[in-house]
Structure 1
Amino acid sequence: MSTRTLILEATRRRLVEQGYANLNVRDIASDAGVNHALIGYHFRGKQQLVLAVLDEANTRLLERQAGMYAAPTPASQKWQQAREFYEEDLASGFVKLLMELMAASFHDEVLRSEFTPRLLAWQKLIEGAVDEFLAGSGLELPVSGRAISAWITWFWIGMEASMALGIPEKQGHQHEALEALALLLRQAEAPQTPRNRKRT
């Protein structure tokens, strides 16, 4: 395993377990079994180090999600797949990693300028999926696909934050909300029947 990979893995573990505020280069070097000077050699500062950790997962997961959206399956099935992916990302620590870097970005302008485009890449991906769904469904809605994608994106972010905080289902109703949207998608996909048809 390369020195860079050892450093990234050690940093990821520290981020998920102890948070960005407690991240210490010497601790990471000790965990990775390398001289701390090598972290400065491979990465230009703490921000670039944590962004490299994020990119290692974020790029792969965006590609995974894009492949899922491109599949010729109904939107309700894609939503269910996205839910399963989310459970995987929660278990792997990726969700907590994302939340840690978001929180750190509020007070770190350098980190925020780099983190925000990576977060918005998810919104752009969802916007494309929503536009494709609307075009294929024939639904005529009084709102834009852009607005719907924003609802979905920021709903997910809020839900991820609530679950990372440990807010249980009986208080947060996260899974209930996810299932409610799945139900709406299934109804939208169902064949439409004329209403109030006059009898002859």
Structure 2
Amino acid sequence: MGRAAARKIETSTGLLEAAKKVLRSSGYAGLSTREVAAEAGMPLSQIHYHFGSKQNLVLKLFEHLNAQLLERQNSLFGDTSLKLSEQWDRACDYLDEDIASGYVRVLQELIAVSWHDAEVAKVIRAGIMGWVDLVTDLARKAERRIGPLGPFSAEEIGAIAASSFIGGESLFLLGLEKNGSPIRASLRRVGDLIRIAEGIRPDEG
């Protein structure tokens, strides 16, 4: 890779990181490309050159973050040294990290925008289906390792897991945990159900 190409990638990544910070603090509606450029310490023209518009900037940010996290999750679920219950526990740890990093806020902001913007919806659907497909594939592997998943098909497990995590993220951002709803603790309890299916007492896991 030449110096010019490397510099272009570095500039683009810097703008995406700045957009993430601004989106966390201001939300999608309050985000301005001028503020992003100022946060990145770059001229506004760089945003138009690299991304063209505010919408495209934020969508590229989502794709950038989503690709990184899917790679991380694929690595986790491909680790055959871990039991399925241990993988679930680690996935719950990752949820905490994703809330802290700002990814959850970016995703939830864009889900809301997608309700009235077909172009945003197309990108967000594709991104979320990446997670659904990943969990569905994991459920198929679990069927082979520990037997039937109760009355659920692998596709239904994928749908339930995606709904639980994305819905949990939304309720967390609304502040329900602060009002007594044990959102993340409930997700972690699913690990105990998996341990029971694996023949392990939860207090032994």
Please give the per-residue CA displacement for 1:145-195, whole angstroms capped at 9, x wherever unaligned.
Answer: 11111111101111011112221266322134223311110110007xxxx
Q: Which residues in structure 2 correspond to 1:3-18 (within 5 Å)?
A: 3-18=11-26
Please give the per-residue CA displacement for 1:41-100, whole angstroms capped at 9, x wherever unaligned.
Answer: 111322221121112221111011011111112111111111111111111111111111
Match of 1:26 among 21, 34, 51: 34
Aligned to 2:183: 174
1:134 aligns with 2:143: yes
Q: Which residues in structure 2 correspond to 1:124-163 (within 5 Å)?
A: 124-139=133-148, 141-163=150-172
Aligned to 2:118: 109
1:80 aligns with 2:89: yes
Looking at CA atoms only, which structure, 1 or 2, has the larger radius of gyration? 1
- Give aligned-pair identity as a percent: 32
**TM-score for both structures, normalised by structure 2:** 0.86
Aligned to 1:194: none
Q: Distance in 2 between matches of 1:166 and 1:128?
A: 32
SS of aligned partner of 1:175? helix
Q: Distance in 1 between matches of 2:87 and 2:178?
A: 23
**Long gaps (5+) in structure 1:** 192-200
Answer with 18-27 or 138-147: which moved more.
138-147
8 Å CA contact 2:92–2:188 kept in 1: the answer is no
Answer with 74-83 or 45-54: which moved more.
45-54
Q: Distance in 1 between matches of 2:149 and 2:190?
A: 18
Residue 140 and residue 60 in structure 1: after superposition, are their counterparts in 2 closer, same or farther (change >3 A)? closer
Q: Distance in 1 between matches of 2:75 and 2:129?
A: 18
SS of aligned partner of 1:34? coil
Q: Distance in 1 between matches of 2:156 and 2:149?
A: 14
8 Å CA contact 2:22–2:36 kept in 1: the answer is yes
Aligned to 1:165: 174
Aligned to 2:62: 54
CA RMSD of aligned residues (A): 1.7
**TM-score for both structures, normalised by structure 1:** 0.89
Answer with 163-172 or 45-54: which moved more.
163-172
Q: Distance in 1 between matches of 2:79 and 2:197?
A: 19
- Work out which structure has the larger RCO, using CA pairs closer than 8 Å and 6 or more positions apart in sequence: 1
8 Å CA contact 2:92–2:184 kept in 1: the answer is no
Q: Distance in 2 between matches of 1:9 and 1:163?
A: 23
8 Å CA contact 1:123–1:150 kept in 2: the answer is yes
8 Å CA contact 1:47–1:110 kept in 2: the answer is no
8 Å CA contact 1:159–1:174 kept in 2: the answer is yes
Q: Which amino acid aligns with 1:75?
A: L
Runs (4 or more) in structure 1 with deviation over 6 Å come to none
Q: Which amino acid aligns with 1:38?
A: Q
How far the C-alpha of 1:126 sits from its partner, in A, is 0.6
